[in-house]
Amino acid sequence: MLEVKTNTIQLRMDDNNLKFSFGKGDTEWNWTSEYRPKMECKEGTVYFDEALEIHHELVQNGIGKGIRSSFAGFEIEGKKVPYAFETYAWIEECTEDIFFEWIPICEEGLAVEKLFWPGELELEEKRKDWYTLLNMQQGVMIPNDWETELKDIPFDGFFETAGGYMPWFAQFKGGNGYIAICTTPWNAGYQAEHPQNGPYTHVSVRFEPSLGRMDYRRIVRYTLIEDGDYNDACKIYRQYVKEQGNLCTLNEKAARVPSVNDLIGCSFIHKGIKTFVQPESDFFDPENPEKNNNLTSFAVRTREMKELHELGAGKLYLHLDGWAEPGYDNNHPDYTPACEEAGGWKAMKELSDTMKEQGDLFGIHDQYRDYYFSAESFDEDYACRLPDGTIPTHKRWAGGQQSYLCATQAPHYVQRNFSELEKNQIHLDGAYLDVFTCNEGDECNNPRHRMTRRECYDYRARCFDYLMSKGILPSSEEVSDWSARSLVFCHYAPYDFMLRKPGSPKYGIPVPLFNLVYHDCLIEPWMMEKIDDTEDYMLYALLNGGAPYLIRDGAYPDFDGSFEGNVKMHIMEDIKRCKVVTELHKKVAKCEMVSHEMVDGNPEIQRTMFSDGTKVTVDFGKQIYSIEM
């Protein structure tokens, strides 16, 4: 057994099985008995303890003390390969944070596909006050006694996607817990297991290669928490983001582009112009061809916006899909001109001018990842190429066959296309660049424009930053930690259950983990559907201090939370409900969400408090709310 200590932290490694444990005070955290450190490789599964040369040493330096281990001498089919790596687990003395580092030394002889280290921690007792926090979309808390099995984590838990808005998870035993922050999240994710009715939840990190190599040091930082809860975990992460220089508030963004202030208090409208589903698309319906294509003129949308004002809808933001000639999700990145059948540039300008005259805001849907074969500029040489030379393709969306545009090219196409919109005098307040903050970053191994996943996020951010430089507020599909510095708003940032069929069991207690970190940095529109007498999404909009959707016409049926069967209300009732949400949003949009709580420990009654003192309490059982200002 090897051990290092600081004032209050102990870190131990059993050199017989390579398992770690650490603790603070009376709370000890141990890797599970089933866990065995491993790498999944093209050559098969390779366990750390299969190395013929394993050495350990205690290390002390100017910033901390720890345990360094080296691993070499692996054999594949009886032949020794030179692959070697080190691990370093250490305690930083000034913060008492614990760092786990995996360092590649020689990458010859093995092709690692997934690395599972550090290990999952024991959380085995069936207790409601023992729980796990996952950043699966807005956030979920899974008590150890939760009745529903955890399934279907979006994007397999990959960090910086809808499955992991932020690159951390946390676990608590009553008031004592830890937060594990992956400080190198670009090629990493998590896996979690919670069986039906518990009695345990396990979660751990995995690392994946970058362009076929592990290439760089992989790090997870553990901060131990005493006498705290999930609020403390979120505030620890918020402080970490500040220290990295990545916390950019709406006030700071408004200083660059003042129209940020105009977006606050808007009701959001999601409408489209043209839908055209290619016959080879997975969404094409050969039995009901009338469902495949649809066209609404710009003039109709202009009239609808005027009518909403006459009804007293207040300030609106119109998000317009399918505004260009090819139709929604077709032909990108060659998307212009404006749809001729719908009235062309002239009619689109009339719509944008009308929105401006009414004091409303106008934005468009656009796409710079899906790279359609039908695009005139399509060139396979600019599609993302994997390390094995293959180019991923599919035909899921309306536009049919596609690959993925290497993000090194995206900023150039954004500038080209938005210059065309400007030339045609289309006034834009916002623009939605699809999937950038929902899907994982891409990699490209084409030597002409080689790109790592980390670089991909940088190129996507450049697209957002270009829009800001033109006074256009950038949006994307969901939210993601890497984009929070650049993004002003999003399409939505829902709880995971909202994107599943209504009535589906929840995988845990919905908790606003993302908003406890970033509420004052982004504007989030919220679904407002009333599912039935027991579930009204308006309550979540209020609890999160967000903006409301007045009308939300999803691009694809029964997809992305657009389901039939909700309670239908008169438009005047919808407007009335939205006004309640917008009035709150005007007050708290720029406020930090200071805390969230289950009132008297009851998850059916939740309360948020904002930095201006505003408190919002919702009772999901009684379907009521109260706002204290």
Q: Is domain 2-243 in CATH 3.40.50.300, yes or no? A: no
pLDDT band with cut points at 50, 70 and 90 for residue 200: very high
Residue 524 in contact with residue 479, Cβ under 8 Å?
A: yes
pLDDT of residue 289: 86
pLDDT of residue 294: 95
Q: Tokens standing for 368?
A: 């710079």
Task: Estimate to the nearest angstrom the gap between the alpha carbon of 492 and the chain centroid.
Answer: 10
Q: What is the pLDDT of residues 400-448, one digit of tens each?
A: 999 999 999 999 999 999 999 999 999 999 999 999 999 999 999 999 9
Residue environment code for 152-175, b if the CB has 16+ CB neighbours within 10 A, otherwise e:
ebbbebbbbbbbbbbbbbbbbbee
Distance CA 609, CA 544 (A): 10
**pLDDT exceeds 90 at position 562:** no
**pLDDT exceeds 80 at position 246:** yes
Residue 15 in contact with residue 3, Cβ under 8 Å?
A: no
pLDDT of residue 556: 83
**pLDDT exceeds 80 at position 11:** yes
User: So where are the chain's domains?
Assistant: 2-243
Per-residue pLDDT, averaged over 6-12, amounts to 95
The neighbour count for residue 244, using CB atoms within 10 Å, is: 10
Q: What are phi and psi of 443, to 5 degrees?
A: -130, 155
Distance CA 41, CA 114 (A): 7
Q: What are phi and psi of 290, to 5 degrees?
A: -65, -20
pLDDT of residue 170: 98
Ramachandran area for residue 425 (φ above 0: left; ψ -120 to 50: alpha; else beta): left
pLDDT band with cut points at 50, 70 and 90 for residue 604: very high
One-letter amino acid for residue 105 of the chain: I
Q: What are phi and psi of 112, to 5 degrees?
A: -75, 130
Distance CA 188, CA 175 (A): 28
Taking each helix axis from N to C end, the angle separating 344-357 and 298-310, rounded to the nearest 10 degrees, works out to 10
pLDDT of residue 291: 87
Per-residue pLDDT, averaged over 28-53, amounts to 98
Distance CA 377, CA 511 (A): 45
**pLDDT exceeds 90 at position 302:** yes
- Residues near 246 by Cβ (< 8 Å), separated by ≥ 6? 481, 484, 485
Of 550 and 557, which is predicted with more confidence? 550
pLDDT band with cut points at 50, 70 and 90 for residue 6: very high
One-letter amino acid for residue 217 of the chain: R
Q: What is the pLDDT of residues 90-111, one digit of tens each?
A: 999 999 999 999 999 999 999 9
**pLDDT exceeds 90 at position 565:** no
**pLDDT exceeds 90 at position 567:** no
pLDDT of residue 374: 97
Q: How far is CA 576 from CA 311, 333, 529, 538, 626, in A?
A: 11, 39, 13, 12, 16
Per-residue pLDDT, averaged over 574-591, amounts to 98
Residue 49 in contact with residue 36, Cβ under 8 Å?
A: yes
Average pLDDT over the chain reads: 97
pLDDT of residue 547: 98
Q: What is the pLDDT of residues 116-141, one digit of tens each?
A: 999 999 999 999 999 999 999 999 99
pLDDT of residue 220: 98
Distance CA 295, CA 324 (A): 11
Closest to 617 (Cα-Cα) out of 539, 549, 533: 539
pLDDT of residue 100: 98
Per-residue pLDDT, averaged over 606-624, amounts to 98
pLDDT band with cut points at 50, 70 and 90 for residue 290: confident
Closest to 263 (Cα-Cα) out of 317, 321, 319: 317
- Residues near 505 by Cβ (< 8 Å), separated by ≥ 6? 147, 148
Q: Which residue has the tokens 């899907």?
A: 439
**pLDDT exceeds 90 at position 454:** yes
**pLDDT exceeds 80 at position 557:** no
Q: Quote helix, strand, coil % in the chain, to nearest 5.
A: 20, 35, 45
Residue 71 in contact with residue 53, Cβ under 8 Å?
A: yes
**pLDDT exceeds 80 at position 114:** yes
Task: Estimate to the nearest angstrom the gap between the alpha carbon of 132 and the chain centroid.
Answer: 18
Q: What is the pLDDT of residues 258-281, one digit of tens each?
A: 999 999 999 999 999 999 999 999
Q: Tokens standing for 359?
A: 């004091």
pLDDT of residue 16: 96
pLDDT of residue 564: 81
